[in-house]
Amino acid sequence: MDRRGFTSGLLGAGALLAGPAPLFAETDPTPVRTPYGGPNVIVIRFGGGVRRRETIDPDHTYSPYLRHVLARRGTLFTNMRIASQEGIVTSHAQGTLYILTGRYDRYVDVEARIFSERYEPKAPTIFEYLRKVYRVPRHQALIVNGEDRVNEDFLTFSTDHLYGVDYRSSVLSLHWFKLYLVRRRLRENRVSARERERLEKQLAELEARNYRPDAPDRQAPRLQDFWRRWRRHYGDSGLVNPRGDRLLTELSVRAIKELRPRLMMVNYQDPDYVHWGNLSHYTRAISIIDQGIQRLVETVEADEEYRGNTVFVVVPDCGRDNNPLMEVSCQHHFNSRSAHEIWALVAGPGIARDVIVDRPVEQIAIAGTVAQIMSFGADQSEGEVLAECFA
Amino acid sequence: MLKFVIFLWKFAVGTVLCLTPLSAILVIGWTARAMRRRSALAWYRHSGRHTASTPFRTFAATRTAHAHLAAWPNWILGQAPGAMRAAAAAQGLGARAVPGLWLRILAGSLWENFRTGLQVLLNTWTLTLPAGALWLMSWWGGWENSFNKGYEQAFVGPGVALAGIAMFVTALFHVPLAQARQASGGQWRVFYGFAFVRALRRHGRFGIAKLALRYVVAGAVLAALHAAPLALGGYLDGQEELSAQQRTNIAALYHLITAAAVFAMFVWLRLAAAILYGEAVLRALHARAITRSDLSALEQGLLEDLDIDTSLDETRPNAVIRAVQVSGRSIAALTLTAAIAALWFALAAETYIAQFLNHRWLSWINHAFVQIPWLG
């Protein structure tokens, strides 16, 4: 029997023990879980790979809100690193997994294909830890993803047999909206035969992106409602809604207002466009993320339940090169010293204000720190807790 | 030993000149003059004058009109000063001509390298710069559109890129032979002899395919050099113990090695084109696809002096065999043409790969082996 077979069998056995309820219904897989009292946590992946110089360096920053405003309200770790060890990769999916799991596990594509990054978290994510301890429904444990990295839509649960799919997070992304939209349109009677054929083909392609056989390809009813309202507002074309990283901000703001997430991770990405050689894409993208962070903070502060009850954790997925011989010195992030150099900012209630910590800390400390903020255990996380950030 | 020292001198100067785009123009001109010599040598080997006891340099040195071809071109000093003085004396030039003569003796090659290099470059640009401009605009515009998620015009960037690549491939069916013709004939106008070059292509397809393959092989080395800073710079970034001066020295060494490699491969490719040109001209003359009057005065004079028989081969096979030969040649010609196009496409692809690894805006409009031998 392989791992997938074992997991399916376990889930089946669990379903039998739980009684006649459907396998993926919104029932508690664990008998006793308490309601979650807060604080809410919003993890912002300042992603795509960014250098300290263009983000937290006060003299060269392209993210002035983050550096000059939000950093004053929290604790800034200026010397966070991704460890330089065999098997540790300075890239986006890997960095996201290090943040989510608190471990520097080694990741290989599920079918070992070259240049394919279909990964499965090997240890529980912070979403799984949270949902195992607290009664947090799936629509309140959210990952907000961009459209360029669909594989990251499936990092929602680990292969750990004590956690896994029952404690998974949900994803807000254009991929999932398209799935919702195509299925809806196929149910509508107005579709011509030719259009139906096209939609069915599109649906098959969308469903084929899901490389995790345990993962259901339908979302919870509250998320279906979310997409219904999104569709009503922005239509079907995909040409009206905000694009790029601004889309993630819009999805996150609407999620706060409609889904009320307790733990949400926003995976910004566009600074990575500098791979193609245009430096202004990198600096412009950083500014867009900065404006997104400002909007999220303002949304939180305008919401009575979120105001004073939400902690922001901002951390890059990886750094970028600092190559003196290249015209665009930060064009890539291929495991250079600078690509391992990142930072983190924690801000919100209970967090020390206007503090800068410059001792070396590791990226895998984020999971343990979020666990401490939200009062759950992250027993398989290997990083320390960033103790300096607690007031 | 002296020959080795001279070789080192010429190679060192060529390398240093390939460090900047302006000085690299001298390399283009110097190489063109070397190409003229090389295609003349190719003809010499087909002539009755060619014997083991009379190498080409001896033949050329004994003729005032061709004395400048006896040795590799100089960088600065005028070529064959003895022949220049003899020619001046033969013309009965007076004392007023002496300063001009001495200027030509002392710096004649410097001027000739610049003048010829600029002519070759300007001609090459007319056919290749538009393609490079399309590459640059498609890369910039395409990624700008992608960054802004302009789905509605997503086709523009790739479409313009493909158009630019098509222009580049088409241009390269003409440019290498045209450069060789301009070098051999010593006239800039002959670069635009499209019918002449087309005729040469028909009588040198296999050689052109081999030349294109050389370009692709050299292009792969060029792409590796272009991308090398990715690894080298990453290494430098990790070496905290290196001083600023040490880093500068390592960077300078990289640029020097690159310039040396670019110079060597540039000369290698251009000389290969010169040989191909020389051989193709003789075959085309034999086949009556071109006539001697299509050649420049310099070339006509050389052919005359070499006493090469370019008469038509009168033996013709019968009609059936001719039909088979013609159809076979057509299929072979089509296949070779497709292969050549694929090779020029591969040269373009190498540029794209290198640019992704280490982007330089100017590398879209300058290919070191097609235009200026400079990598930036």
> Given a cut of 50, is residue A10 above it in pLDDT?
no
Give the tens place of pLDDT for each residue, B77-117: 888 777 777 777 777 766 556 667 778 888 899 999 999 99
Looking at residue A3, what is its pLDDT?
46
Domain residue spans in chain A? 39-176+248-389
Residue A75 contacts B where some CB pair is shorter than 8 Å: no
What average pLDDT does this structure show over A226-232? 98
**Closest-approach residue (CA) in chain B for A321:** B234
Assigned CATH class of A39-176+248-389: alpha beta
Residue B4 contacts A where some CB pair is shorter than 8 Å: no
What average pLDDT does this structure show over A97-120? 94
Check: CB of residue A172 under 8 Å from CB of residue A166: no
Looking at residue B326, what is its pLDDT?
61
> Given a cut of 90, is residue A242 above it in pLDDT?
yes
Residue B230 contacts A where some CB pair is shorter than 8 Å: yes
> Given a cut of 50, is residue A24 above it in pLDDT?
no
Stretch (H or E) spanning A142: strand A141-144
Kindly state the tokens that stand for A262: 């307790």
Q: For residue A23, what pLDDT band results from cuts at 50, 70 and 90? A: very low
CA pair distance A107, A113, nearest whole angstrom? 12
Interface touch B356/A324, C-beta < 8 Å: no
Distances (CA, A) of A64 to A60, A61, A272, A286: 9, 6, 19, 10
Residue B64 contacts A where some CB pair is shorter than 8 Å: no
CA pair distance A63, B98, nearest whole angstrom? 70
CB atoms within 10 A of CB A346: 27
Check: CB of residue A285 under 8 Å from CB of residue A245: yes
What average pLDDT does this structure show over A353-367? 98
Looking at residue A359, what is its pLDDT?
97
For residue B335, the one-letter residue type is T
Domain residue spans in chain B? 2-364
Interface touch A324/B147, C-beta < 8 Å: no
Check: CB of residue A339 under 8 Å from CB of residue A322: no
Looking at residue A79, what is its pLDDT?
98
Nearest-CA distance A155 → chain B (Å): 24
pTM of the model: 0.89
Mutate which of A323, A332, A333, A334 to disrupt the B interface (most B C-beta within 10 Å)? A323
Residue listed under structure tokens 């088979």: B324
Q: Which of B148, B151, B358 sits opposite A326 (nearest CB)?
A: B358
**Closest-approach residue (CA) in chain A for B376:** A327
Nearest-CA distance B246 → chain A (Å): 13
- Residue of higher predicted confidence among A145 and B317: A145
Instruction: Give the largest CA-CA distance in chain B.
Output: 79
Residue A327 contacts B where some CB pair is shorter than 8 Å: yes
DSSP letter for each residue of A290-345 = HHHHHHHHHHHHTSTTTTTSEEEEEE-S------TTSSSTTS--SS-TGGGEEEEE
Residue A115 contacts B where some CB pair is shorter than 8 Å: no
A–B: how many Cβ contacts below 8 A?
81
Check: CB of residue A384 under 8 Å from CB of residue A361: yes
Least confident of A42-46, A192-196, A354-358, B219-223: A192-196
Which regions in chain B score pLDDT beneath 50?
Answer: none
Give the tens place of pLDDT for each residue, A154-210: 999 999 999 999 999 999 999 999 999 999 999 987 889 999 999 999 999 999 999
Looking at residue B234, what is its pLDDT?
86
Q: Which of B237, B254, B360 sits opposite A338 (nearest CB)?
A: B237
Residue A322 contacts B where some CB pair is shorter than 8 Å: yes
